Amino acid sequence: MQNEEIKDSFKAKGLKKAKETLDYLKMSDEERWRYERYQSDLHHQASLYESTFVIGKIEGYKEGVADEQKKSQLKLITMVKKLAKKGLAIADIAEISGMDRTEIKDILSQ
């Protein structure tokens, strides 16, 4: 390393990292400050992206759960109506569905 340089054509293991370190050490104080600022900005951008991604996944999960709850509620309402149409008593429908009688009466009165 007479010229304090590691050429890009060198392929030995670990030389890429050594080249990056050497390049960093050869920078002036201002260049080093700008490089560190650039690295910090990249880290911040990646962090923002990650946060946005995670928030989006959480919101999507919540929407999925809410959709499933609506579907379950609709199935339960449909079942209550079918059971009533078959002539089952409200007490029997309550026992089968797990709902209380007031809820069943409300559904059937709609």
The answer as to whether 1 is a domain residue is no
Cα–Cα distance, 103 to 100 (Å, whole number): 6
What pLDDT score was predicted for residue 102? 93
Is 102 within the bounds of a domain? yes
Name the stretches of the chain with pLDDT < 50. Answer: 1-2
Alpha-carbon span 59 to 53, nearest angstrom: 10
pLDDT in the model for residue 105: 92
In a domain, 71, yes or no: yes
**Domain total of the chain:** 1
Question: Which residue range forms the structural domain that includes residue 54?
Answer: 15-109
Whether 44 is in a domain gets the answer: yes
pLDDT at 18: 75
Residue 6: inside a domain, yes or no? no
pLDDT given at position 1: 44
Q: Which of 66, 77, 74 is nearest to 85 (CA)?
A: 77
Say if 7 falls within a structural domain: no
Residue 10 placed within a domain: no
In this prediction, residue 3 carries a pLDDT of 56
Q: Residue 86 has what pLDDT? A: 94
| 3 in a structural domain | no
